[in-house]
Structures are given as C-alpha cells and as structure tokens.
Amino acid sequence: MKILQKLFFAGFIIVVVSSCRSHKMKKNSIVLGTVTATADSVIVKKDSVVLAEIPVEEKVFFETKEIDFEKLKIKSKISIKTAKIDQNIPATIHVKKDSVIWISIAIGLEAARVSINPDSIFLLDRLNRKYYKVSFKELSDNFDFDLDFNMIQSLLVGNLPIKIDSIDIYKKLTEFNSISQKRNEVEIENRFDLEKSKLFYINATDKKTNTKLNIDYKSFINEDNKLVPTIISLLISGKNEAKIEFEHSKFDFLDRNIRFPFNIPKGYSLEKIPNF
C-alpha cells in the first residue's frame, strides 16, 4: 500500500481502534484559514481560497505551532462512512506523550479496546473474543512507507504528521502558508493559518494511482492555552471512498496520572488482521 492508505490508517486507528478542568465543546469554536472573524471565532471558506503566491527572492521559512503536552484525555463521537458502513461510535482516548495511546470503544458495554505503543498496536475485540497485534515495522513494510507512533499522535492533536525534511518547500500564500512535501510518489500539501501558524488542512495525492487523501481540521478550541482540533475529517477517494469524522465533546490536559488498562483475557484467540 502507499502513503495515502498509511495516513488514512493512522487516522482510522485514532478513531476506531479513535490542575485539570473538563470542558464541553460548546465554547469559542475556531475554524482556521482566513481572517474573517466573529467575537470568539474564525471562519474559513476553503473553496474560495486564492492561491496567489507572494513573490520572494530567497528561501521562505516560517514557524509552525505544535501542541505540547504530557497527558491527554478525549471523549469523541465518531462517524464512519464507506460503501458498506454507516455508523456512529463513541470512544474514549487516553494519551501519554510519546509513550502510549489507549482507546476504548463502548456502545453500552465496551466493544473494543486498543493500545498503541512506540513499537506495536494491539486491538482487543471483546464482541468476538479475539485480539490482534501488529508492529509498526510490519505496517511500514506492508505500506511501503514509514509509519510510526508519532504520526498517529500528531494526527490526533493536529501536529504535522510527516516530519520536516530539508527538501520540503515552504510557501507564503495570500490566504495561508503551506509546506509541500514529496515522499516517493506522493505529494503532500500542509496548510497553516496565517495568523496562528496552526495546521488546518492536509491534501495528499498519489501520482501513480491518483488516490487522494484530505485531512480537514474543521474546528478548534483554546484549551489550557493550546489550540486543539475538535472536529477532524478524513476523506480518501480513488478506487474506493471512505470518510471518517470525529468530534470531541470533552478535552482534558492532565497533570495527574490516568490509566491505560490493557490485558488479554483467557480464551481470546490471536487473529491475523484481514487483508494484511
């Protein structure tokens, strides 16, 4: 598989496998990418963006805003739409930076639990008494591109998912700044808000297969002085189409310990991931 499937898989893992204060996501919603503003929000219409590049004579560079944290807890509502699936799923996500991402999916009772560490991904299917394990090395070999823990963590909090390289191209445009990347046959455009220097949109195209992936951070909120995404939409189009969107209803940056419980109960069988 190519990098687009890899990026989409990273998003899918986040979504389905997706002193401290708690906040309901009803306040100060922010949508990045333009200078049109209300009292508490910023609105964007990406379809009307004019891609007029500002002429420069020397190499362009700009700083980007990345989210830094130690521990994070998120409650989300997830929508999954494909040709065969149309489903909404509630999920709880716990993150310890650079260490573990833990996801619980519950519809009444817990249906699945996921544990992602820097080496491997474990999925516990409680409904069918099965579990799955795959290493990032296996994923990278299968997808023909390096997939790692940092990519999944970055997609979750709205940081740049593909690490910067010296060959990447910075551009200052009329409505946003961008960083263009090329990895193998895939071209990636990352768009950043002019005022806040925050990533709000990713467009990736596989030139060999003409498969396209859009990652759209539709809304943000200021939480503990951090601009974090609350609505994230992933759309892949090509031979097959799929869309995943999740909306956070609760977003906590924690200064206390949180739990990441994960163990394989007796009687559960290890299964191979389908089509892998």
Establish if 276 belongs to a structural domain. no
Question: Whole-angstrom Cα distance, residue 55 to residue 168?
Answer: 18
What is the tens place of the pLDDT at every residue in 133-169?
999 888 777 766 667 899 889 988 999 999 899 999 9
The answer to whether residue 223 scores a pLDDT higher than 60 is yes
pTM given for the model: 0.77
Judge contact between 135 and 116, C-beta under 8 A. no
Establish if 275 belongs to a structural domain. no
Q: Residue 210 sits in which domain range? A: 3-270
Q: What is the mean pLDDT of residues 256-266?
A: 91
CATH of the domain at 157: 2.50.20.10
With 0-12 CB in 10 A as exposed, 13-18 as middle and 19+ as buried, what is 116? buried
The two three-digit tokens of residue 105, written as one number = 């999916």
Distances (CA, A) of 77 to 3, 153, 230, 240, 256: 26, 18, 10, 24, 25
Number of domains in the chain: 1
Question: Whole-angstrom Cα distance, residue 180 to residue 165?
Answer: 10
Establish if 214 belongs to a structural domain. yes
